[in-house]
Each structure stands twice: as C-alpha cells, then as structure tokens.
C-alpha cells in the first residue's frame, strides 16, 4: 500500500450520512464521477457507509448493503459494495484499499457469505489487487422496467473461509449497487 508519509495517518470511520453533499465533497462538480452514466442503469443507495476524512473534508467512501440474489435454484443474500470513491487529487495513495478493507471487515459481520460489486473493465485489475475475483457469468439485475444483463463487470469476494462462488445462472433480485 502506498501512503504519503508526509501526512498524518488516515483513519477510516463509519459515516452517519452519505448523500449528495458528501459525494460533492469527494468529487466536486463532476456530473458522472463513476463513469457509468452511459449505461443508463438505476442504482440502489447504500445503507452503511465508511469514509476517510482529513481536516474535516471527506476524501474517500465505500458503501454497503445487503441484497438478495439467486444463483441457480438457490436464493441468498450478498453484501453489495458500491460508491467506491477517492477524491481525484488523493488517488494512487492507498485510500481505496484502506476504505474497502474497512468495509470488508464490517461486511464479514453482516451474515452473507459473499461480497459483490460492479465495475468498469479498467478497474478489474485494481479490485483483483484487493483480493476480488471476476465472475465470468452474465449477471441479470433488476431495473425499473424489468431485468437486464449487467453491462459492467461483476466481481465477488468471499466473506468467510471456504466460501467458493456457487455454480448456476446469477440473478440479482434488486437494483444494482
Ligand atoms: C477507483 C478509485 C476508487 C481508486 O482509488 P485509489 O485511492 O487511487 O486506489 P488505491 O491507491 O487504494 O489503489 C488500490 C490498489 O490497486 C492498485 N491499482 C491501482 N490502479 C491499478 C491498475 N490500473 N491496475 C492494477 N492495480 C491497480 C494500487 O497499486 C493499489 O494496490 P496496493 O495497495 O497493493 O499498492 C479512484 O480512482 C476513484 O475514485 N475513481 C472514480 C470513481 C470510480 O470509478 N469508482 C469505482 C466504482 S466501482
């Protein structure tokens, strides 16, 4: 992990709220900070939020929620990860690793056996570096007008020892996150 030694240690904390104002604190006025507007997808807000603040300003965020999923005939829950964000001028210093790792620790207490996230193809290598694996199957996700095939990459990570990804067609029973 690359940290800037000239700064005080950066600490991850649970956030009491995460809305438009907090998103703007991280990204400024960027109208498509996650680069996914062209997909036209509708996303779920997250329920639990972790962030890194420095001198009061929010620099990084990861959100979590529990979401229902079917894999083959089996229906269960995953912990969905989303809104992974680092302020542009703070990237490349390990903040995403810090905040995703803290969110993962919390996810392990939430019950489901797997974490799931959706990302643009250029970010697959970054998440692999953080221990996530690509799900090669197509994933159907809910949208307001009915299910669609997720156009982004789907990645998963075990939340317990010995939790391989089950086999079978994957269908998220909620909007994506
Ligand atoms: C994606 C994003 C969160 C990454 O934040 P970051 O703070 O720069 O990431 P980190 O510095 O913590 O890097 C995490 C790890 O990935 C590695 N990494 C970064 N870019 C990589 C790449 N292109 N290929 C492989 N590994 C990469 C880093 O070296 C680091 O590994 P290390 O800790 O073992 O050295 C940030 O660029 C961002 O906010 N982008 C816009 C919003 C977005 O697209 N979010 C993703 C939603 S899914």
Q: Tens of pLDDT along 28-48? A: 999 999 999 999 999 999 999
Residue (of 26, 21, 17, 13) closest to 60 by Cα position: 26
Q: Can you read off the two tokens belonging to residue 69?
A: 């999923």
- Output the CA 75–ligand 1 centroid distance in Å: 32
Note the pTM of the prediction, 2 decimals.
Answer: 0.95
Report pLDDT digits (tens) over 71-130: 999 999 999 999 999 999 999 999 999 999 999 999 999 999 999 999 999 999 999 999
Per-residue confidence band for 8, with pLDDT thresholds at 50, 70 and 90: confident
Q: Which residues neighbour 142 within 8 Å (Cβ) at sequence distance 6 or greater?
A: 172, 173, 174, 175, 176
CATH 3.40.630.30 matches 12-172? yes
- Output the CA 126–ligand 1 centroid distance in Å: 5
What residues are in contact with ligand 1 under a 6 Å CB criterion? 1-2, 33-35, 84-86, 91-97, 119, 123, 125-126, 129-130
Mean pLDDT of the chain: 95
**Domain limits, the chain:** 12-172
Give CA torsion, residues 107, 109, 113, 115, to 10 deg. 0
Alpha carbon nearest to ligand 1 atom 3, residue: 85
- Output the CA 84–ligand 1 centroid distance in Å: 9
């Amino acid at each position: 992990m690359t940290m800037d030694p000239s700064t005080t240690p950066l600490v991850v904390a649970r956030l009491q709220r995460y809305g438009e104002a907090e998103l703007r604190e991280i990204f400024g006025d960027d109208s498509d900070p996650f680069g996914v507007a062209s997909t036209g997808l509708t996303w779920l807000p997250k329920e639990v939020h972790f962030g890194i603040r420095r001198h009061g300003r929010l620099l990084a965020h990861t959100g979590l929620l529990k979401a229902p999923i079917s894999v083959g005939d089996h229906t269960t829950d995953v912990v969905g990860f989303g809104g992974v964000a680092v302020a542009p001028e703070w990237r490349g210093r390990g903040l995403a690793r810090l905040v995703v790792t803290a969110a993962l620790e919390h996810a392990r207490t939430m019950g489901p056996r797997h974490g799931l996230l959706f990302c643009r193809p250029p970010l697959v290598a970054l998440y692999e570096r953080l221990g996530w694996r690509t799900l090669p199957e197509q994933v159907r996700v809910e949208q307001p007008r009915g299910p669609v095939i997720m156009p982004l990459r789907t990645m998963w990570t075990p939340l317990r020892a010995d939790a391989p990804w089950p086999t079978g067609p994957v269908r998220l029973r909620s909007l994506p996150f």
